[in-house]
């Protein structure tokens, strides 16, 4: 949480730290830990069991990402998203925190190198999702990153708040292009249909829905989201599954348990730990084979044009991106038109000031001074607003459009190989 903005921040972060310390975890990935002092407190609290940690700096306020590991961290990287948020939406803050994807490489004695990723994607903010195209580009970046890890014969665990439900295009990109396995879905897919039937018959409580559907956000039982939902819920009486633990499934690494945790209240309070519940997955390691590579390279998984995405999904993705390119161009045009208005206003005010100076500067000194002050205040105001319109409309606007165009080109190239 952010200083002042987040309610009960210290209480919640310290409760999370003690909950982690009381558990038996090998790797923990956290999001929205924007205050360095909170990270240091968690690090100190869990250090007797989990000695290694990495905090990732980015943007004006920080990425909020942190990874804790029982295994030594050999290296760390942070990839900032090309697109995340918009500068004029200051209260959302996403543009200023520097969202991205963080990773550490750890060596697990039984299976070798494991790249652990964590991320926090752009939120939708309400019923109208203006950021789907941005999340798609973020997922495309992540998918290419985890593919690169697998190509280096490393196992991959990908965690985070993806702000995307399982039917979304973002989820499909991670799973089908990033070649990741959804650990929770892998173990619960067979029971989802029965759970849905029971829910429609009103046989499941809100608490049971959390485990049956893997709900991590917007649950009616969460004290931070039950009054004001962060996102439009897939079903208002259930909530959404937005947080995931993906991994590169292989004969060496298999998930044997996955569940939602920290869904209760902080001890001795009536507050939830966070506006999102946590996900806990347990993996089994098979080291009978001396070859620790996650995939058989002969299967083609490491080829740059290999993908499991269907052509129809590619077309849906490109449609969303193209729509956002058009929207961005319109927004930029409006801001540049407004810039022109500001320039005309400044010029007109200067002309008025010159006229007043030649007419009243000697005859009515007091009114001339007052009028001059007002005119220069408006000139200053229009200059500031015009400069912002120039920076956001031209610099950010053109950057956003060209970034989207480049992603559209990259995705189109992949589609071309699929269709041939």
> SS3 for 123-141, per residue?
CCCECCCCCHHHHHHHHHH
CA pair distance 205, 193, nearest whole angstrom: 16
pLDDT of residue 361: 61
Radius of gyration, alpha carbons of the chain: 26
Burial (Cβ within 10 Å: 0-12, 13-18, ≥19) of residue 179: buried
Burial (Cβ within 10 Å: 0-12, 13-18, ≥19) of residue 210: buried
Contact partners, residue 390, CB within 8 Å, separation at least 6: 335, 336, 339
- The answer for 248, left when phi > 0, alpha when psi is -120 to 50, beta otherwise, is beta
Q: Residue 238 — very low, low, confident or very high, per pLDDT cuts 50/70/90?
A: confident
pLDDT of residue 215: 96
Domains of the chain by residue range? 9-305, 315-419
For the cut 70, the answer to whether the pLDDT of residue 369 exceeds it is yes
Residue 26 DSSP code: S
Bigger pLDDT: 417 vs 102: 102
Beta strand extents in 248-312 (DSSP E only): 253-261, 278-285
CA pair distance 40, 83, nearest whole angstrom: 29
Residues 95, 86: contact at Cβ < 8 Å? yes
Checking DSSP bridges between strand 278-285 and strand 253-261, what pairing results, if any? Answer: antiparallel
211: its two tokens:
């485990």
CA pair distance 72, 209, nearest whole angstrom: 37
Contact partners, residue 77, CB within 8 Å, separation at least 6: 102, 103, 104
Global pTM reads 0.91
**DSSP, residue by residue, 371-388:** HHHHHHHHHHHHHHHHHH
CA pair distance 69, 51, nearest whole angstrom: 7
CA 231-236-242 angle, 5° bins: 45
pLDDT of residue 292: 58
For the cut 60, the answer to whether the pLDDT of residue 229 exceeds it is no
Instruction: Report the sign of the C-alpha dihedral through residues 88, 92, 98, 100, in that order.
Output: negative
Burial (Cβ within 10 Å: 0-12, 13-18, ≥19) of residue 280: middle
pLDDT of residue 200: 87
pLDDT of residue 362: 63
pLDDT, averaged across the chain: 91
CA pair distance 69, 72, nearest whole angstrom: 7
The proportion of the chain whose per-residue pLDDT surpasses 90, expressed as a percent, equals 76
CA pair distance 30, 243, nearest whole angstrom: 11
pLDDT of residue 233: 46
pLDDT of residue 231: 47
pLDDT of residue 304: 82
For the cut 60, the answer to whether the pLDDT of residue 232 exceeds it is no
For 268-318, the pLDDT digits (tens) are 999 999 999 999 999 999 876 656 566 554 455 667 889 999 999 999 999
Class of domain 9-305: alpha beta
CA pair distance 83, 99, nearest whole angstrom: 9
């Amino acid at each position: 949480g952010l200083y002042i903005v987040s309610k009960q921040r210290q209480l919640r972060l310290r409760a999370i730290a003690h909950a982690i310390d009381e558990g038996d975890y090998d790797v923990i990935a956290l999001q929205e830990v924007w205050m360095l002092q909170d990270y240091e407190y968690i690090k100190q609290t869990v250090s007797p069991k989990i000695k290694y940690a990495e905090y990732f700096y980015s943007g004006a306020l920080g990425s909020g990402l942190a990874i804790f590991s029982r295994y030594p961290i050999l290296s760390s990287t942070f990839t900032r998203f090309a697109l995340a948020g918009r500068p004029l939406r200051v209260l959302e803050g996403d543009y200023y925190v520097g969202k991205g994807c963080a990773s550490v490489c750890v060596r697990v004695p039984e299976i070798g190198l494991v790249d652990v990723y964590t991320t926090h994607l752009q939120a939708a903010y309400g019923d109208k999702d203006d950021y789907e195209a941005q999340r798609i580009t973020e997922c495309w970046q992540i998918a290419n990153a985890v593919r690169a890890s697998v190509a280096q014969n490393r196992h991959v665990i990908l965690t985070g708040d993806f702000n995307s439900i399982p039917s979304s295009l973002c989820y499909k990109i991670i799973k089908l292009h990033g070649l990741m396995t959804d650990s929770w879905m892998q173990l619960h897919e067979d029971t989802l249909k029965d759970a849905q039937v029971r829910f429609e018959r009103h046989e499941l409580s809100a608490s049971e829905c959390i485990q049956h559907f893997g709900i991590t956000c917007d649950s009616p039982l969460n004290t931070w989201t039950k009054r004001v939902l962060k996102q439009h819920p897939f079903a208002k009486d259930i909530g959404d599954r937005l947080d995931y633990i993906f991994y590169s499934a292989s004969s060496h690494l298999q998930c044997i348990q996955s569940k939602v945790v920290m869904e209760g209240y902080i001890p001795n309070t009536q507050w939830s730990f966070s506006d999102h519940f946590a996900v806990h997955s347990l993996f089994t390691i098979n080291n009978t084979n001396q070859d620790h590579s996650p995939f058989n390279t002969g299967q083609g998984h490491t080829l740059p044009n290999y993908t499991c995405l269907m052509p129809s999904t590619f077309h849906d993705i490109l449609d969303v991106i193209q729509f956002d390119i058009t929207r961005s161009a319109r927004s930029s045009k409006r801001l540049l038109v407004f810039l022109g208005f500001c320039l005309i206003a400044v010029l007109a005010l200067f002309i008025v000031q010159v006229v007043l100076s030649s007419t009243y500067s000697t005859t009515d000194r007091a009114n001339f001074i007052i009028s001059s002050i007002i005119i220069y205040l408006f000139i200053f105001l229009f200059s500031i607003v015009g400069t912002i319109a120039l920076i956001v409309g031209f610099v950010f606007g053109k950057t956003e459009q060209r970034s989207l165009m480049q992603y559209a080109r990259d995705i189109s190239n992949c589609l071309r190989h699929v269709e041939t």
